[in-house]
C-alpha cells in the first residue's frame, strides 16, 4: 500500500451514511415529529407525505397515506403533541406520546424518525392495539404483501457472502476514487440509495480520498475483520462494520446494505484510514 504522510490521514476520514450527508439534522426529532403530525392535522397531507423518509414513501403511495391518516382521525385539527418518552439509537429516534386533536380525541402514537438529508424524517408511525402489547404500523405494507423492508425477513448471509459483499463494495469504491469518477459506483448501489443522492454528491463527499490518491487495492490479499457481529436491523438494514489489517495503516469500514431482489445492494458506506 502506498505510504501517506500523517496530514493525509486527517483528510481521508470521510463518512457517508445512507443519505450521503454527515451534518447533524437541522431540527430536533421532537420538533420534526410534531410538525409532521400538525401538517396532517391541518390536512396538509401532501406536504407531510413529501417530508417523510424515502423508506416510508417506498411503502405507501400518497393516496394510501392520505386515506389512512383520515381513517385514524389524525386530520381532526392538531392541538398538541405530548411526547412522554424518547429512545435514541445511532441515527434512529423513537418517540412515544399522545396526539390531542381539535375535537378532543386523544390518539396514542409511536413515531420512528431517521436522519436523512440533514433532517429528521418520519420512518414509521404506529399505534398500540386495544389489547396486548403489539402495535400496528398502519402506513407500512409489511405483512400485507411485498415491501421495501422485505430484507428484514432474510437470514443473515453466510460468512463467505459477507466477506464477498465487503470486498466487492470496497473495491468498487476504490475504483471510483482511482478513476476520479463515481458514475460506475453509483450505477451499482441500491436503487433506494440512488434516490437519495447524486454522483456529484458522492464525489464531493470523497474528494479528500481522490486528492490524496488513496489506493485500497491491498485489501484483496487480506480477510476482513468484523469488529462487531454483522446484523440485520428491524428495518431490514444489513450492517457490516470492521477493518482490514493493511500496512502501514489499517482500513476501517462501515457498510450498509438492503435487499433488492435478488441481491444485497449497498445502501451506505463509511471508510477511514488510520493507525
CATH architecture of 152-274: Roll (3.10)
pLDDT of residue 78: 67
Q: Where along the chain do its domains lie? A: 29-144, 152-274
CA angle (244, 245, 250) in 5-degree steps: 85
pLDDT of residue 210: 95
Q: How many Å apart are CA 101 and CA 81, to the nearest integer?
A: 9
pLDDT of residue 249: 93
pLDDT of residue 245: 96
pLDDT of residue 234: 64
Q: How many Å apart are CA 217 and CA 171, to the nearest integer?
A: 7
Written as nine digits, the cell of 135 is 402495535
Q: How many Å apart are CA 201 and CA 199, to the nearest integer?
A: 5
Q: How many Å apart are CA 87 and CA 96, to the nearest integer?
A: 9
Residue position matching grid coordinates 453509483: 186
Q: Do domains 29-144 and 152-274 have the same CATH topology?
A: yes
Written as nine digits, the cell of 229 is 457481529
pLDDT of residue 136: 62
Q: How many Å apart are CA 119 and CA 202, to the nearest integer?
A: 18
pLDDT of residue 140: 60
pTM score:
0.51
**Domain 29-144: which topology?**
Nuclear Transport Factor 2; Chain: A, (3.10.450)
Q: How many helices and strands, by DSSP H and E, does the chain display? A: 10, 11
Q: How many Å apart are CA 70 and CA 160, to the nearest integer?
A: 48
pLDDT of residue 142: 41
Q: What is the mean pLDDT of the chain?
A: 80
Question: In this structure, are residues 48 and 40 in contact, taking their beta carbons and an 8 Å threshold?
Answer: yes
Question: In this structure, are residues 29 and 93 in contact, taking their beta carbons and an 8 Å threshold?
Answer: yes
Give per-residue pLDDT as tens, 163-187. 999 999 999 999 999 999 999 999 9
CA angle (223, 255, 141) in 5-degree steps: 135
pLDDT of residue 155: 80
Low-confidence ranges of the chain (pLDDT < 50): 6-26, 131-132, 141-149
Give per-residue pLDDT as tens, 4-56. 554 444 344 343 443 333 344 446 888 998 899 889 888 899 999 999 988 88
Decide: residue 275, CB within 10 A, 0-12 exposed, 13-18 middle, 19+ buried.
exposed
pLDDT of residue 22: 37
Amino acid at each position: 500500500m502506498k505510504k501517506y504522510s500523517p496530514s493525509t490521514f486527517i483528510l481521508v476520514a470521510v463518512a457517508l451514511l445512507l443519505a450521503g450527508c454527515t451534518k447533524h439534522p437541522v431540527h430536533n426529532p421532537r420538533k420534526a415529529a410534531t410538525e409532521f403530525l400538525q401538517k396532517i392535522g391541518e390536512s396538509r397531507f401532501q406536504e407531510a407525505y413529501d417530508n417523510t423518509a424515502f423508506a416510508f414513501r417506498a411503502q405507501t403511495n400518497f393516496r394510501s397515506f392520505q386515506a389512512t391518516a383520515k381513517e385514524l382521525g389524525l386530520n381532526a385539527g392538531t392541538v398538541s403533541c405530548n411526547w412522554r418518552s424518547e429512545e435514541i439509537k445511532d441515527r434512529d429516534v423513537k418517540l412515544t406520546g399522545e396526539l390531542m386533536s381539535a375535537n378532543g380525541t386523544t390518539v396514542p402514537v409511536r413515531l420512528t424518525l431517521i436522519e436523512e438529508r440533514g433532517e429528521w424524517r418520519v420512518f414509521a408511525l404506529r399505534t398500540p392495539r386495544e389489547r396486548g402489547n403489539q402495535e400496528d404500523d398502519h402506513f407500512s405494507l409489511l405483512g400485507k404483501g411485498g415491501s421495501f423492508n422485505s430484507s428484514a425477513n432474510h437470514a443473515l448471509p453466510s460468512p463467505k457472502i459477507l466477506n464477498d459483499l465487503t470486498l466487492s463494495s470496497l473495491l468498487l469504491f476504490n475504483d471510483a476514487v482511482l478513476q476520479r469518477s463515481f458514475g460506475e459506483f453509483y450505477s451499482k448501489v441500491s436503487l433506494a440509495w440512488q434516490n437519495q443522492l447524486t454522483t456529484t454528491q458522492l464525489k464531493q463527499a470523497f474528494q479528500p480520498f481522490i486528492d490524496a490518491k488513496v489506493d485500497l487495492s491491498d485489501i484483496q490479499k487480506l480477510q476482513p475483520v468484523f469488529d462487531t457481529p454483522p446484523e440485520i436491523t428491524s428495518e431490514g438494514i444489513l450492517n457490516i462494520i470492521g477493518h482490514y489489517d493493511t500496512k502501514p495503516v489499517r482500513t476501517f469500514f462501515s457498510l450498509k446494505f438492503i435487499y433488492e431482489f435478488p441481491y444485497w445492494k449497498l445502501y451506505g458506506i463509511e471508510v477511514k484510514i488510520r493507525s
